[in-house]
C-alpha cells in the first residue's frame, strides 16, 4: 500500500514535470528563429542547389528507371552526398519494371494526309511492326469516352482532345491528367485498338508530353500516345471537316526483365535527438527525352542544398534525412518501397516533405500537422513572408514519394510552387537546365531551410 502510494506520487510528479517541460518545449527557441533567418538570407545568395541540378542534368542527363543512365544517377547521388559531407550515405534496393521507347510516329491518312508529332506514353505497348491504321473517334474528355455506349470505339483509334488549362496552382493537371492516367484502359473497354490524347501540358510547342499510362488487369493493352498541342489543334481542325479521318500510328517499345534501382539516402545526424528524423527529398529518375531538370533534378538540388546549408551553420538537433527516390515516373516505385522499408520507424519520422514541383517559386505553405503544433507552421510562415510565401489551406500530401508515409500517419508540409511555367515543359524534350531561373531556385532553398531548421530544432512533435 505504502509502496503504491509513493509510486503514484512519483508518477504524478513525473507527469507534472513532463507536462511542464512539454509546455516549455512548445515554443520555437529564439536562437532557432534567428538562425533560420540567417539561413534564409544565405540561401538566397547560394548557388549550391543550382550547382547540384547542373551536375545531375549534365553529368548524367536523362535517367529513365532501369537504364544504364539510371545506374549512373544512383552512383552520382551517392558520390554527391558523400562529397558534401553527409554523415551517413546509403542506398536501398527497389525492384522495378523496365520500359524503353524505341520508335513513335503518327500520320493522318485521310482526308488530309500529313505527319503528326507524338510521344508514346510511358508503359505503352507496341503497335504491330508496321503500325496500325484505323479511323479516329473523337471524344472531348475521358468522361465522354467512359459514358459512351459499349463498343463505341470498336476497331478505332480513340482521340481525347481535352485541353489542360494553365493555373499557377497546377489544378489543370487534375482535370486533364486522367485522359493519360487511365485513357488507354478506358478506350480499350470501348473496343478501341489505339489511343491518342492531346498532351497534358500548357504550351504551344511541337513538343509532346509523355508520362505514365496504366493498364487494367483483364483489359486489352492498347498502344497510347500524346500529340503535341499544335498537332492536337491541327487534328481538331481536320476533324471539324466532318469527314472520315484515318490515322496510322506506329509505336515501338520494349519491356526488359525487372531490374533493381535504388533510393539513395543521406543523413545529417542530429545532435540531441539523432533517432528523430526530418525527412525531405525529391526523385532521382526522369523521363527519357529531356534531362529532367525541373522534374525533378531541381527537387534534388533544393533539398540537398537546404540540408547542407543547415549543417554548415550548426548541427541540427534532429537528424535531417534526404531521400533521392528511385523510379517515381513509372509508378512511384521508390516512394512505395520506402514506406515499406521504414514502416517500423514511422513514428521517428517527425515530419516530411518532397520537392517535386519544378523550379518555380514557392508561393504557399500547406501542412498536415496537429492543431497543437500549428503555431510552428505559423513561425515558418512569418519567416517565409519576405519570400512571398503565404498559407495554403490545402492539406499537405507528402507529394508522390512521401505520399505513402503521409497516408500511414507521417505529418507533412508542402512547399507549394508556382506551376505556371512547369506544365509548359513537364515530361517533354524541353525539360532542360536552361529553363531554371536561378533566383527562383534559390528562393525555394530559402523557404526549405526555414521549414527544415524549425522542424529539426523545435523539440515538440507535429502529431
Ligand atoms: Zn516528378
Ligand atoms: Zn514527372
| 14: in domain | no
Rounded to an integer, the average pLDDT of 191-211 is 98
Domain co-membership, 249 together with 194: yes
Q: Which three cell numbers stand for residue 254?
A: 520494349
Q: In the prediction, which pLDDT does 313 show?
A: 98
Residue 9 has pLDDT above 50, yes or no: no
Q: Residue 10: which pLDDT band, with cuts at 50, 70 and 90?
A: very low
Residue 23 has pLDDT above 50, yes or no: no
Name the residues around ion ligand 1, CB cutoff 5 A: 295-296, 356
Q: Which ligand is nearest to the CA of 290?
A: 2
Domain co-membership, 249 together with 286: no
Q: Which ligand is nearest to the CA of 289?
A: 2
Domain co-membership, 401 together with 449: yes
Q: How many domains does the chain have?
A: 2
Residue 30 has pLDDT above 60, yes or no: yes
Distance 421 CA to ligand 1 centre (A): 14
Rounded to an integer, the average pLDDT of 290-317 is 98
Q: In the prediction, which pLDDT does 26 show?
A: 84
Distance 399 CA to ligand 2 centre (A): 11
pLDDT in tens, 344-369: 999 999 999 999 999 999 999 999 99
Residue 17 has pLDDT above 80, yes or no: no
Distance 356 CA to ligand 1 centre (A): 5
The model scores a pTM over 0.85: yes
Domain co-membership, 71 together with 133: no
Q: In the prediction, which pLDDT does 282 show?
A: 98
Q: Is 41 a catalytic site residue?
A: no
Q: What is the mean pLDDT of the chain?
A: 95
Q: What phi and psi values does residue 236 have, to the nearest 5 degrees?
A: -60, -45
Distance 60 CA to ligand 1 centre (A): 17
Q: Which ligand is nearest to the CA of 401?
A: 1
Domain co-membership, 119 together with 222: yes
Domain co-membership, 176 together with 279: no
Radius of gyration of the chain (CA): 25
Domain co-membership, 214 together with 111: yes
pLDDT in tens, 368-421: 999 999 999 999 999 999 999 999 999 999 999 999 999 999 999 999 999 999
**CATH for 310:** 3.40.630.10
Distance 424 CA to ligand 2 centre (A): 13
Q: What phi and psi values does residue 22 have, to the nearest 5 degrees?
A: -60, -45
Domain co-membership, 200 together with 297: no
Domain co-membership, 152 together with 190: yes
pLDDT in tens, 34-57: 999 999 999 999 999 999 999 999
Q: Which ligand is nearest to the CA of 357?
A: 1
Distance 289 CA to ligand 1 centre (A): 14
Whole-angstrom distance, CA of residue 269 vs CA of residue 274? 6
Distance 133 CA to ligand 1 centre (A): 34
Distance 4 CA to ligand 1 centre (A): 58
Q: Which ligand is nearest to the CA of 423?
A: 2
Q: In the prediction, which pLDDT does 21 show?
A: 42
pLDDT in tens, 310-354: 999 999 999 999 999 999 999 999 999 999 999 999 999 999 999
Please identify, among 256, 288, 318, the residue that sits at the C-terminal boundary of a domain: 256
Whole-angstrom distance, CA of residue 23 vs CA of residue 209? 52
The catalytic residue among 104, 133, 276, 328 is: 328
Determine the structural domain holding residue 372 and report its residue range. Answer: 29-87+269-457
Amino acid at each position: 500500500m505504502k509502496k503504491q502510494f509513493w509510486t503514484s506520487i512519483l508518477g504524478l510528479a513525473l507527469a507534472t514535470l513532463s507536462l511542464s517541460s512539454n509546455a516549455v518545449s512548445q515554443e520555437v527557441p529564439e536562437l532557432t528563429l534567428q538562425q533560420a533567418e540567417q539561413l534564409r538570407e544565405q540561401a538566397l545568395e547560394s548557388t549550391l542547389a543550382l550547382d547540384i541540378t547542373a551536375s545531375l542534368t549534365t553529368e548524367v542527363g536523362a535517367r529513365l528507371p532501369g537504364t544504364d543512365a539510371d545506374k549512373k544517377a544512383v552512383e552520382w547521388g551517392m558520390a554527391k552526398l558523400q562529397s558534401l559531407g553527409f554523415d551517413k550515405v546509403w542506398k536501398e534496393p527497389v525492384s522495378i519494371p523496365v520500359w524503353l521507347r524505341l520508335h513513335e510516329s503518327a500520320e493522318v491518312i485521310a482526308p488530309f494526309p500529313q505527319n503528326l508529332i507524338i510521344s508514346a506514353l510511358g508503359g505503352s505497348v507496341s503497335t504491330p511492326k508496321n503500325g496500325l491504321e484505323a479511323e479516329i473517334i473523337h471524344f472531348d474528355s475521358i468522361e465522354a469516352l467512359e459514358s459512351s455506349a459499349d463498343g463505341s470505339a470498336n476497331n478505332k483509334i480513340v482521340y481525347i482532345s481535352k485541353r489542360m488549362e494553365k493555373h499557377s496552382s497546377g489544378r489543370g493537371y487534375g482535370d486533364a491528367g486522367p485522359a493519360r492516367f487511365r485513357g488507354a484502359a478506358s478506350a480499350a473497354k470501348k473496343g478501341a485498338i489505339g489511343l491518342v490524347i492531346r498532351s497534358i501540358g500548357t504550351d504551344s510547342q511541337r513538343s509532346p508530353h509523355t508520362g505514365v499510362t496504366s493498364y487494367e488487369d483483364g483489359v486489352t493493352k492498347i498502344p497510347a500516345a500524346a500529340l503535341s498541342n499544335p498537332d492536337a489543334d491541327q487534328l481538331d481542325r481536320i476533324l471539324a471537316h466532318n469527314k472520315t479521318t484515318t490515322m496510322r500510328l506506329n509505336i515501338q517499345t520494349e519491356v526488359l526483365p525487372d531490374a533493381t534501382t535504388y533510393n539513395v539516402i543521406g543523413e545529417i545526424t542530429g545532435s540531441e535527438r539523432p533517432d528523430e528524423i526530418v525527412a525531405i527529398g525529391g526523385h532521382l529518375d526522369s523521363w527519357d527525352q529531356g534531362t529532367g531538370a525541373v522534374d525533378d533534378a531541381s527537387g534534388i538540388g533544393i533539398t540537398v542544398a537546404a540540408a547542407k546549408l543547415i549543417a554548415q551553420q550548426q548541427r541540427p538537433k534532429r537528424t535531417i534525412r534526404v531521400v533521392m527516390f528511385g523510379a517515381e515516373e513509372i509508378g512511384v516505385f521508390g516512394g512505395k518501397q520506402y514506406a515499406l522499408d521504414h514502416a517500423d520507424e514511422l513514428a521517428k519520422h517527425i515530419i516530411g516533405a518532397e520537392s517535386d514541383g519544378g523550379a518555380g517559386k514557392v508561393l504557399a505553405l500547406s501542412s498536415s500537422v496537429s492543431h497543437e503544433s500549428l503555431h510552428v507552421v505559423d513561425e515558418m510562415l512569418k519567416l517565409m513572408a519576405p519570400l512571398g510565401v503565404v498559407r495554403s489551406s490545402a492539406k499537405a500530401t507528402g507529394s508522390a514519394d512521401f505520399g505513402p508515409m503521409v497516408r500511414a500517419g507521417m505529418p507533412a508540409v508542402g512547399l507549394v510552387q508556382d506551376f505556371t511555367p512547369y506544365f509548359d515543359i513537364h515530361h517533354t524534350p524541353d525539360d532542360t537546365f536552361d529553363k531554371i531561373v536561378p533566383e527562383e531556385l534559390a528562393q525555394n532553398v530559402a523557404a526549405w531551410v526555414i521549414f527544415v531548421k524549425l522542424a529539426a530544432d523545435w523539440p515538440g512533435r507535429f502529431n
